[in-house]
A and B are shown apart, each in its own frame.
Chain A
Amino acid sequence: MELVNFILIFCAGWLVWRRPERERTAFALLVASALLMALVFFVGSRGSVLPGLNY
């Protein structure tokens, strides 16, 4: 999944640099990547959503 995420980020950065008129597409890729990041991190930490320390 991380592979997909960094491909999305690369594509978004490339569009910003070389195809600035595709702003909406680039931003959509950024948002998709952010949501995917949050999902994957949740998968990796769902055993304890709060920091795993004494409370």
Chain B
Amino acid sequence: MSRSRVDTVLAFAVLLLAALPLGVSVFVLGFALGDSPCILCWGQRTGMALIALVGLFILRYGPRPRYVGTGVLLGAYGLYMAARHSSLHLARDIGQGFSAELAGAHTYTWSLLVYWVCVVTMGVLLLLLRDGEATRVPRELTPLGRLATLVFLVTIAATVVQALAGSGPPPFVGPADPVRFSFDPRRWAWTMEEWKGAPISLRGRWAISKPSLDGIDPDPATGPLGGLPSLAIESDRTLAVSLKGRPDDLAYDGTSGRFLVTTDAHGVFVLDGSLSRVLRYTVIDPAFSVDMGSGLPGAAWIDSTTIAALAENKSFVVLRESDRADVEKNFRFFLESFDAFEELSRGRFATVRARLMYVSSLAYDPGRDSFWTVAVPNETQRQLVVSRFDRRDMTLSEEFVPALAPESGLALAGEKRSLAEYHVTGLTFADGHLWALSAAHSTLLAIDPLRQEVTAAWAVPGLTRPTGLAARGADLVLVGQGGQVWTLDRPTP
């Protein structure tokens, strides 16, 4: 394509960029509708203006490498800004967002498309240029080039007015939550808010540490609930079977009289009722399709042949025992023992209150055909969140932060103490209650899910890093990270 045609296309692109995103933003959204940009919106708009300016440079001086390079860098940074800004709101519910909506999407989201089109346009124009064009000397602007420049300058001049009203002169900077635009100086709200010191973080509030039992205080006497009765350990032994990985959770099926043990190496083991023999096992491939986290701290029987295992990131897998499993098909699901199970489903539980919290337990409630989890606290989120997921659609169906039952006699040991100090690693459903075992302060909690209350609690001295809890008849069977197996008499909740 000839240079003059490329210039025409480029001038038209600059005109479009100046008139549509930049012009509409200042004249329609700003002056007419009162919309004001936030500090991140200002960055995105500035990037678009600079790309248009680079286009003017190329129209005037030719496609010199430093102009083309600047354009590409601005396009790349613009894409980053658009992704970074949009991410603040992308996960909100339908229609929700920040400030004005335009044609069904918010402005910061449109900028992602605008920057993408800019980068693509630059690439296409480069493809269309002939060799040697970059060495040309400056030349006069075409009429279309002059029009693009004029529209650009008028738009930028208007934006200067909007920036004066919305952001103010230095050192004031664009606000996080801008007040609507006004030509009346009495309504201008300049702020220094964004200059206030804040830590530089790579991932922000999503930087949550994976749950760990390192450093957890096992002493019941230092727990948030004072004066708890103690439960004595009836038996204390060590698992006699060899597992792949350390025990991560435990479940018991009363019908078949068998145990299920999951491990931190994604092992799923069906054991006999005495926990002395492996009846079948497999190892989940944690990287197939759904990220199954760094272990399986949740295990539950759904029926006598169907089991569920849960990763700390609330990703789950449902397996069914089978003696005729398709070995070839199972290669994708498992790392070992391809003929013992069929994989029925793999997916992710999504929570609301516990969205930024991991879990270390799973229980199945046959009455409601639901799964239960209890979130574990982390460095930024301190609450005990109990979540129920209906098995029919594996979707969050109930979520609560339990209170202490008034008639239970339970009381916090101080004003600043909280049930959030517990770190629940074992969970099972029995007697209409959720039994939650906390590795922190070695405490057993009985939670009534109908009343959403903790109705009883007991100290269990002598536990070391407990990771699993199962109800077997009148007993509670506990497993520890080191392979210990403890048995308790199940108290009345």
Using a CB–CB cutoff of 8 Å, the interface residues on chain A facing chain B are: 1-7, 9-10, 12-14, 16-17, 20, 23, 26-27, 30-31, 33-34, 37-38, 40-41, 43-55
Contacts and interface: CB of A to CB of B under 8 A. Distances in A.
22 contacts: A3-B169, A6-B46, A6-B49, A9-B49, A9-B50, A9-B53, A10-B156, A16-B53, A20-B61, A20-B138, A23-B138, A26-B57, A27-B66, A27-B67, A30-B57, A40-B42, A41-B39, A44-B174, A44-B176, A45-B84, A46-B200, A47-B199
Nearest to A43: B194
B13 interface: no
Contacts of B103: none
A16 to B, nearest CB: 5
Contact of B200 (A2, A20, A49): A49
Contacts of A34: 50, 70, 73-74, 77
Nearest to B195: A43
Contacts of B163: 2-3, 5-6
Contacts of A54: 91, 206
Contacts of B205: 47-48, 52
B4 interface: no
A54 B264 CA distance: 23
Nearest to A53: B87
B87 to A, nearest CB: 3
Interface string B31-43: 0000001111011
Interface string B58-99: 001100001100100110010001011111101100000000
Given A6-B49, A37-B50, A47-B201, A1 B171 contact: yes
B57 A16 contact: yes
A30 B31 CA distance: 26
A41 to B, nearest CB: 4
Contacts of B195: 43
Contacts of A7: 160
A54 to B, nearest CB: 6
A14 B60 CA distance: 12
B21 interface: no
Interface of B: 37-40, 42-43, 46-47, 49-50, 53-54, 56-57, 60-61, 66-67, 70, 73-74, 77, 81, 83-88, 90-91, 138, 141, 146, 149, 152-153, 156-157, 159-160, 163-164, 166-174, 176, 194-195, 198-206
Contact of B173 (A14, A43, A50, A55): A43
Contacts of B39: 40-41, 43-44
Contacts of B43: 37, 40-41, 44
Contacts of A48: 84, 201-206
Contact of B156 (A13, A44, A47): A13
A38 B42 CA distance: 11
A46 B50 contact: no
Most buried by B among A2, A14, A40, A49: A2
Contacts of B88: 52
A9 B38 CA distance: 19
Contacts of B200: 46, 49
Given A30-B57, A46-B199, A48-B206, 12 more contacts: A1-B173, A2-B174, A4-B170, A10-B157, A10-B160, A12-B53, A34-B74, A40-B173, A43-B173, A48-B203, A52-B203, A54-B206
Contacts of A26: 57
Contacts of B61: 20, 23
Contacts of B176: 44
A53 B53 contact: no
Given A45-B84, A47-B198, A16 B60 contact: yes
B172 A51 contact: no
A30 B70 contact: yes
A21 B168 CA distance: 32
Contacts of B56: 13, 16-17
Contacts of B91: 53-54
B160 A50 contact: no
